[in-house]
Amino acid sequence: MASSALAVSVAKPAASPTAATAVIPQRRLLPQCRGVRAAPLRLRSGRARGVSVACAAQGQEISFQVPDVTKSTWQSLVVESELPVLVEFWASWCGPCKMIDPVIGKLSKEYEGKLNCYKLNTDENLDIATQFGIRSIPTMMIFKNGEKKDTVIGAVPESTLVSSIDKYIGR
Positions annotated as catalytic residues are: 94, 97
- Give the DSSP H or E segment for 163: helix 158-169
51 in Cβ contact with 39 (< 8 Å): yes
- Enter the DSSP assignment of 74: H
117 in Cβ contact with 111 (< 8 Å): yes
E strands, 43-102, are: 48-57, 85-90
DSSP 89-131: EE-TT-HHHHHHHHHHHHHHHHTTTT-EEEEEETTT-HHHHHH
117 in Cβ contact with 49 (< 8 Å): no
